[in-house]
Amino acid sequence: MKRASFRLEPVLGLRRTEERAAAAAAAQAAHTAADADRRATEYETALGQAVLPRSLQAREFVLAMTLMRTAATDASDARALATAQAEQAELVREQWTAAAQRTKAMEKLKERHQVALQHAEDAAEERAVDDLVTGRAGRRRTADVDAAEEVPWTE
């Protein structure tokens, strides 16, 4: 008996491919977010360690303060970028989770299909065994009874 194939096998393959792609995207997004966080932390650390000399001329003081303000702006921008990257990584991870759920649903359908096929095979085998047993029992009764004697009808 030819076993019926799972008709949605190509769809399941596509779902698995989508899940793998989503997993790769999630890993890349997490790596990007971690890099952005590391850079922001470096900027913040460098800004925190910056020390102005005790005596500066007015012009040098203005230049130093402008440089500090620029460094603070860079650190703030880096932290904002790190936060945005972390949010993006979370969205990508949610897409990966959704892809995994779709794949799991297709795998459950395939599993149900296999269980249904096995159940059908078991039922067919049981019917075949029943037919064999019933056929043998019918042959034994006719062999035991004389050919001239009438066989009563029973169910």
Q: What is the DSSP letter of 5?
A: P
Mean pLDDT, 10 residues at a time, the chain of 155 residues: 74 93 96 96 90 85 90 94 96 96 93 92 90 69 57 66
pLDDT at 53: 80
pLDDT at 136: 59
pLDDT at 119: 94
pLDDT at 143: 55
pLDDT at 112: 92
Which CATH number, 1.20.1300, 1.10.287, 3.40.50, 2.50.20, labels domain 9-144?
1.10.287
Which stretches within 8-153 are classed as H helix? 9-49, 58-144
Alpha carbons 9 and 22: distance in angstroms, whole number? 20
Domain coordinates of the chain in residue numbers? 9-144
What are the distances in angstroms from CA 95 to CA 32, 36, 79, 90? 17, 21, 24, 9
Please count the CA atoms within 13 angstroms of the CA of 124 that sit on its side-chain side. 8
The residues near 81 (Cβ < 8 Å, ≥ 6 apart) are 36, 39, 40
pLDDT at 43: 92
